[in-house]
Structure 1
Amino acid sequence: MATPTNPPQAILNQGDAITWLRTLPSSSVDVLITDPPYESLEKHRAVGTTTRLKHSKSSSNDWFSIFPNKRFPELFSESYRVLKNNRHFYLFCDAETMFIAKPMAESAGFKFWKPLVWDKKYIGMGYHYRSRYELILFFEKGKRRLSNLGIPDILEAPRITKGYPTEKPTSIPSTLIKQSTASGEIVCDPFMGSGSTGVAAISEGRVFWGCDISLNSLLETQKRLNLLVPSITISG
């Protein structure tokens, strides 16, 4: 995929995240923000702590396929390649996945700064200290200063209770986008889900490149983005 001379405000692709990343030019993306359906989600689903994912009959569900931990090295390698130098990478995950993902991302070349905390304001389901937060691992390729050094490492936004599974409020990716990019730059999300990062990117005057393997995801993202930019199409 060659970088367009005058890129549209959004490009959506249906397919495997890593396969899609491999089609992107090296050093073509200004920030990568993503939330893979990490493996430990299946554990939460199996014991009933993630009720909106309980349609699964085996190792996946009606909405998306689980991304296995063993594929993280490929994801981090391709993410590092497509990112420009002196850029940031944000990975949403839970505490269990953090200990698996962090060393793999560092092996790919990323510098790990810290986990950010998304405080969802209200507790979710669970058994031992019911969770009301999610982590966002903050990595860097090269060295880049944040736009606003006064932003705390705890980002507060109420969880979305009636929507696409694992849907993020747009205020969370919006903060990350404003911290790590300038107007007109490219925001990439290879596991875009319901397209919250895309909505935030377009709303903040950035270009969005997104991918998801799920047709439900593509249609939901297309619908949301078409409210902001007419005639968003899907490839792949």
Structure 2
Amino acid sequence: MTEANDASFKTVDVSNQDAVDWLKTLPNSSIDLVITDPPYESLEKHRKVGTTTRLKNSKSSSNQWFEIFPNSRFEEFFEEVFRVLKKNSHFYLFCDQETMFVIKPIAEAVGFKFWKPIVWDKVVIGMGYHYRARYEFILFFEKGKRKINDLSIPDVLTEKRIWKGYPTEKPVNLAKTLIIQSSKEDEIVIDPFCGAGFVGQAAEILGRNFKGNDLNAEAVEITKTRILQVRNTV
């Protein structure tokens, strides 16, 4: 990496902290949009059952990349997300059906309005026993009132899942759709569990300001690199 690129790498705003601790460093009402994919507790159940090798205890599995964020911590997490979001803003959270039933009432108790679960159709089925999974939920919350930018977008978003990337990695186009729907250019988008940086990369492509965080140091480096790749192609 050249000296100029090294300097640019340092200016990419991605931290390496616990998600809640990082959110506490952000000012009140300073963020326009939150999109995130936490390592929710039910992943641990799938890990133990071993329904997918990507969640087993192996070098390539998810447990080498992230620690599970327990359901017991979602109240403090939602409180911080609500605090940092500006009035009249949106919040999207990726999760499975089991986690949705646990965390929806917690988010509502904090003050969020829950609109609906958006369905991400992954196009191909995954592993499993009872009707093999082909979808994931994106919970759509609102603080105050903000219109989405395009009323013609359906509540099922179809993007083929990523098979060989970072564990649980999401397609950049998914994040692009949510960012376009719920923000404008130069507004601030954050992801407290940024993983491989699909939200950060999408935000950079679309001219938004991005702040990210992840507990895993290597994930932080991956996110920074992906954002710089976008900058270097402009």
Is TM > 0.5 for Structure 1 vs Structure 2?
Answer: yes
Deviations 1:1-23 (A, max 9, x none): xxxxxxx9841000100000000
Count the aligned residue pairs.
Answer: 221
Counterpart of 1:5?
none
Query: Is 1:29 aligned to 2:39, yes or no?
Result: no
Q: Equivalent residue for 1:216?
A: 218
Unaligned regions of 5+ residues in structure 2, if any?
A: 1-9
Which residue of 2 is the match for residue 234 of structure 1?
A: none
Q: Give TM-score, length-normalised by structure 2.
A: 0.91
Partner of 1:128: 130
Query: SS in structure 1 opposite 2:225?
Result: helix
SS in 2 for 1:192: coil
Following superposition, the deviation at residue 223 of structure 1 comes to: 1.6
- Runs of 5+ consecutive residues of structure 1 not aligned to the other structure: 1-7, 231-236
Q: Which has the higher helix share?
A: 2
CA shift digits 1:96-146 (9 cap, x unpaired)? 000001000001100000000000000000011000000000000000000
Give yes or no for the alignment of 1:144 onto 2:141.
no
Question: Could you report, residue by residue, the CA deviation over 1:28-58 in whole angstroms, capped at 9, with x for unpaired residues?
Answer: 110000010000001111112232121269x
Q: Specify the alignment match of 1:4 in structure 2.
A: none
Within a 5 Å distance, the mapping from 1:40-119 to structure 2 comes to 40-55=42-57, 61-119=63-121
CA contact under 8 A between 1:9 and 1:208: conserved in structure 2?
no
Moved over 3 A (4+): none
TM-score by length of 1: 0.91
SS at match of 1:90: strand
**Shift in alpha-carbon separation, 1:146–1:192, aligned structure 2, 3 A:** same
Q: 1:77 to 1:56 in 2, by over 3 A?
A: farther
**Maintained 8 Å contact 1:31/1:181:** yes
Q: 1:76 to 1:56 in 2, by over 3 A?
A: farther
Given that residues 33 and 188 in structure 1 are in contact (C-alpha distance below 8 angstroms), is that contact kept between their aligned partners in structure 2? Answer: yes
Q: What RMSD in Å do the two structures reach over aligned CA positions?
A: 1.5
Equivalent residue for 1:227? 229
